[in-house]
Structure 1
Amino acid sequence: MAFRAGAHPSPLDDIGHGTHVASTVAGNTVADASVLGQALGNAVGIAPRAHIAVYKVLYNSIGTESDIHAGINQAIADGVDVLQMSLGAASLPLHRGVNLGSFAAIQHGIVPCAAAGNSGPQKSVISNDVPWVLTVGAGTTDRRIRATVKLGDGTELNGESAYQPSGFLNQMPIAHPGASGIQAYRECRTLYGLNVGGKIVLCWGKAGGGNVAMGRVVKAAGGAAMIVLNDQFQALTTAAEPHILPAVHVNSLNSQSILNYIASTSTPTATIEFNGTVFGVPMNPAVATFSSRGLSLVNRGIVKPDIIAPGVNILAAWPVEVGPNPTGITNTFNFLSGTSMATPHVSGIVALLKNIHPEWSPAAIRSAIMTTAYTTDFDGNFIRDQFPDTGPAGSYFAMGAGYVNPSAAADPGLIYDIDESECIAHLCGTGFSNRQVTTIAQRRIDCFAHFRMTAEQLNYPSISLTLEAGEKKIINRTVTNVGEANSVYSVQIHDPHRWMFLPTSCLSFMWVRSKAIVSSLQPENPLQHLVRSVEDSFHGFQTSTL
């Protein structure tokens, strides 16, 4: 069903985004899926037996808040279990847009999952950052669609491309239109008046993709091939795209190596070698450069995003063939990158959890996903950030609780639960007006008569503190046992600076659904990353403190 200015036009996908997202959530198994022969294998959605209901609220990637509200309200009326929302606007007030509609969803037991946005690496520009939405950022996988630049001096620099023509390309002269300082030439939006015939052309691109159009310009101008460069703000994330001419996208370190080579010789040349699909690339998963980051400037103290999930070069269904040579096939796929691609992974996981644990609240499901997330990569090192290009350890403001771990989320042992009244208490306790809170709750709220909570008091799976010099605070969290009866958990703090103190080292639960309060003393640790872990013989459960 579609919503546009009070009308119901065709809901058919006109740009491919919705098709890609829907198949990631719940696509059936398709054998021999690939993009131009790359990443060949069986493709299947996260929850292939789930039913999907589609509500189109954007046209040409643009929509109104009223259309979004209409779509959410219809989904609620239709009785959906999960709201999958790969859309949003950064830094919207809590009483507007997806934020508003999602509160109505949790009132009906529906889990809202929404994209954090693609405004990274800029700080504090993040979408869908209210405490009742599961906010999803993007991470990488260990797969690369490998293409290699071979410079005239013998240097080899790896990058990516989905279009991988057969045959060896000879060394070609390098053209760098951006050296003129003209932005349109730098981004290859036009090459009018330039001689690029038979040359390999350098174009400055985007980490999250959208670089195919530059190749069309290069090809139309007579260019033989294209190298997509990353500047320091695009850093280490590259896109494997279905280009229409031989092309490769290289990271910022390799881009600088190419520029250094050009500066070293009067006759720079290069070629591209295509090496297919590669797995097991080290230092993965990592936070994608483009993934939006906190601190949130509007939610008044909740750490966002909540989680990161696979969101770089994701293979999923596409409505048309891609690449330069259509063959008439009907099972068509494409690689896309973005938090829009990460979110349906989490939405599918939420659907599976709803099936396994139908009694769990939206907050319980969010807690299970957050507290069981991976914080280390496949090599056992702390998850890194692909910005800056030094690849530092990821910040919790970039990766949230970590990289989603579906199997562990099904059996977290303990959860942090939050009900609607606590969300309202948080709104009242952090300065929102009666009118704003009434708009969100969709019923009259008098904050003067309602109990209040600060952000750090909300029973959230992460803790964010603001402390004055020398100030100490006691923070309480209530955990609910969803594991076995007669469970005993040990409590540990990963705090090398000894800034946190816990009065207990053990939690005991006689029954399932029984609760315990965990207190911690927080002295003088502004914006430090601490992790409190709680574990028994079968479960690992962690909470980050910032």
Structure 2
Amino acid sequence: MRQLSLGDSPIISRKLIGARYFNKGYAAAAGKLNSSFDTPRDNEGHGSHTLSTAGGNFVANASVFGFGEGTAKGGSPRARVAAYKVCWPPIAGNECFDADVMAAFDSAIHDGVDVLSLSLGGEPVGFFNDSIAIGSFHAVKRGIVVVCSAGNSGPADATASNLAPWQITVGASTMDREFPSYVVLGNKMRFKGSSLSTKTLPEKFVSLISAADAKAPNASVQDALLCQAETLDPSKVKGKILVCLRGVNARVDKGQQAALAGAVGMILANNELTGNEITADAHVLPASHINYTAGTAVFSYINSTKSPVGYITPATTLVGTKPAPFMAAFSSKGPNIIVPDILKPDITAPGVSVIAAYTGLVGPTNQDFDKRRVQFNSVSGTSMSCPHVSGIAGLLKTLYPHWSPSAIKSAIMTTATTMDNLKERILNASNVEATPFSYGAGHILPNLAMNPGLVYDLLENDYLNFLCALGYKETQVLLFSEKPYKCPKPISLANFNYPSITVSNLSDSITVTRTVKNVGSPGTYTAYVNQPTGVSVFVKPKRLKFKKVGEEKTFSVTLKIKETGAAKDYVFGKLEWSDNQHHVRSPIVVKAS
């Protein structure tokens, strides 16, 4: 049984409202369950947060302890919603069992849902062994849009999960709202951090101490630096601001360990991998989360001064921040390790410090020590970005009830942007230009998705042919087709009508075909290409003239390695079809063999 991350799966529907739970698969491993398991109640916050992000109604004066105050609403605020609870306390690392996931899919399909939002996933496996891939296939072929999280295993490459082409797979990026809390040092250096701490310190200098210098006698320096449990010496920490390094244990747990050791405040510094990604957490003591560069400067100051001092300013809410968005360091990345010629993730959406509804059964840090309760909480993860896309898919389903799930997916992907609000390329958390392996087609733009102009459509047989192209046996295809399906021969994955073009093993040249359907006004579209480094791209024909809605046109794209500058590693480009009103963009991803 595959390990899946914890969370309920919300749906959007025009027909129903309610909640169900599925635990028979879990019970088979855990043994007889008591009656406390026979409920869909959310007792840890994840399901409430994701469901309200997808379809929560308008709520005035929403905030987290007064921060980020405003009117909250989900992506489809007038939708009917339901939750299908499939995840439970871990058993040997397993939380969400395949049998329960499949049962939930069956119920959702039977209930007549329009959109399924799945903020859960596990290690990628072949689609015929993947409960989410199988369940989502059966949903999609019945017209249900399925949106999934890419995972939180970044910033390493090849970490994305939920890799099936019939799913919309979502990465996480920031938004233009921050909760700044400044760290001020005795040498007059000042660094912007982030926090939702309700407790504050006077803006006067107090002693600073690195957690490495505060280690308990039997603890290692590295464990103490991470502020793990029972690694800190209270006699060294008491009355000081403790500086902890991000990693291993939860950010909010580090704050709790600092408080238990007697610290009056905490500075949480990023490691090199997490770079500039800082997160607003409702810490139990005054705290500020700073980026890697600032953290390096703070540690350097402490190590170069006999009596280092500093203070932390109270958190505030700031909107319109720049640059935004940029990719979250935790957001899982491509390439796709199951099918390298399908780009994943497909899209990115806000997933950092997202404010949404929360359960009243746990505190905002989700830790046992936290006795506070909130109606709304700020949470980060691709679990949070996924329902943003689900909500938008719900709106598109309302606007265009007869569009296929792949048409809705295409509209979302081809209208996305790869630029931030400074009109520069979207960066990653290390201030390096991000690639489609981080953001897919780009950051979602809901208003443009309503009017995409052209869409790349795919139907059930296209997906079955895709499985055939992977070499799946008839018995494996039967898991998806429900009845015997004869694979056509020959068949090429290169011509799969996906809204992105990926060639992971280009030896000399290849020609791929795509078909676009006009869903806008009549017009003539011209092809524009941004060529990947070392690769020539030729589009034929270069113009497509559409006379009516629903008309389809096929074109070919030839990718050829140049004699010099061959693509030895992945390189990236873009194909855009434009009639000067619509801009239909597809990423091009190439690696030479």
* Matched residue, 2:142: 108
Q: Which region of structure 1 is more displaced relative to structure 2, 421-430 or 9-18?
A: 421-430
Task: Extract unaligned runs of 5+ from structure 1.
Answer: none
Give the distance between the partners of 2:410 and 2:376, measured in 1 at CA: 33
Give the distance between the partners of 2:262 and 2:328, measured in 1 at CA: 33
Give the distance between the partners of 1:138 and 1:192, measured in 2 at CA: 34
- Tell whether the 8 Å contact from 1:174 to 1:268 is kept in structure 2 after alignment: yes
* Matched residue, 2:71: 42
Give the distance between the partners of 2:38 and 2:489, measured in 1 at CA: 45
Give the distance between the partners of 1:125 and 1:327, measured in 2 at CA: 35
Is 1:186–2:225 an aligned residue pair?
A: yes
User: 2:111 is matched by which residue type in structure 1?
Assistant: D
Q: Structure 1 residue 189: deviation in Å?
A: 2.0
Q: Which of 221, 239, 253 pairs up with 1:213?
A: 253
* Matched residue, 2:182: 148
Q: Which of 245, 252, 257 pairs up with 1:204?
A: 245
* Matched residue, 2:54: 25
Give the distance between the partners of 2:261 and 2:300, measured in 1 at CA: 25
Is 1:463–2:501 an aligned residue pair?
A: yes
Task: Extract unaligned runs of 5+ from structure 2.
Answer: 1-19, 28-36
* Matched residue, 1:176: 210
- Tell me, what secondary structure is at the counterpart of 2:81? coil
Is 1:229–2:263 an aligned residue pair?
A: no
Give the distance between the partners of 2:482 and 2:318, measured in 1 at CA: 51
After superposition, the C-alpha distances for 1:374-423 in whole angstroms (9 at most, x for unaligned) are 1101111111111xx2x111110111000001111111000000111111
After superposition, the C-alpha distances for 1:222-271 in whole angstroms (9 at most, x for unaligned) are 11101111101111111101111100111111111111111211221121
* Matched residue, 2:301: 261
User: 1:182 is matched by which residue type in structure 2?
Assistant: V
Q: CA RMSD in A?
A: 2.1
**C-alpha distance 325-429 of structure 1, shift in aligned 2 (>3 A):** closer
**C-alpha distance 489-98 of structure 1, shift in aligned 2 (>3 A):** same
Give the distance between the partners of 2:334 and 2:370, measured in 1 at CA: 42
Q: Structure 1 residue 452: deviation in Å?
A: 5.4
- Tell whether the 8 Å contact from 2:207 to 2:310 is kept in structure 1 after alignment: yes
Is 1:63–2:102 an aligned residue pair?
A: no
Q: Which region of structure 1 is more displaced relative to structure 2, 270-279 or 84-93?
A: 270-279
TM-score scaled by length of structure 1: 0.94
* Matched residue, 2:127: 94
**Match runs of 1:236-275 below 5 Å:** 236-275=276-315
User: 1:407 is matched by which residue type in structure 2?
Assistant: N
**C-alpha distance 202-313 of structure 1, shift in aligned 2 (>3 A):** same
Give the distance between the partners of 2:160 and 2:490, measured in 1 at CA: 26
Give the distance between the partners of 2:260 and 2:131, measured in 1 at CA: 42
TM-score scaled by length of structure 2: 0.87
- Tell whether the 8 Å contact from 1:119 to 1:125 is kept in structure 2 after alignment: yes
- Tell whether the 8 Å contact from 1:131 to 1:299 is kept in structure 2 after alignment: no
- Tell me, what secondary structure is at the counterpart of 2:105? helix
- Tell whether the 8 Å contact from 2:527 to 2:542 is kept in structure 1 after alignment: yes
- Tell whether the 8 Å contact from 1:117 to 1:291 is kept in structure 2 after alignment: yes
- Tell me, what secondary structure is at the counterpart of 2:472? coil
Q: Which of 392, 399, 404 pairs up with 1:361?
A: 404
Q: Which region of structure 1 is more displaced relative to structure 2, 79-88 or 52-61?
A: 52-61
User: 2:500 is matched by which residue type in structure 1?
Assistant: S
* Matched residue, 1:539: 582
Q: Which of 492, 505, 513 pairs up with 2:542?
A: 505
- Tell whether the 8 Å contact from 1:425 to 1:452 is kept in structure 2 after alignment: no
After superposition, the C-alpha distances for 1:299-336 in whole angstroms (9 at most, x for unaligned) are 242000000000000000112364899888xx711100
- Tell whether the 8 Å contact from 2:195 to 2:315 is kept in structure 1 after alignment: no
**C-alpha distance 468-76 of structure 1, shift in aligned 2 (>3 A):** closer
> How many equivalent pairs are there?
536
* Matched residue, 2:482: 442
**C-alpha distance 71-369 of structure 1, shift in aligned 2 (>3 A):** same
Q: Which region of structure 1 is more displaced relative to structure 2, 336-345 or 84-93?
A: 84-93
- Tell whether the 8 Å contact from 1:147 to 1:274 is kept in structure 2 after alignment: yes
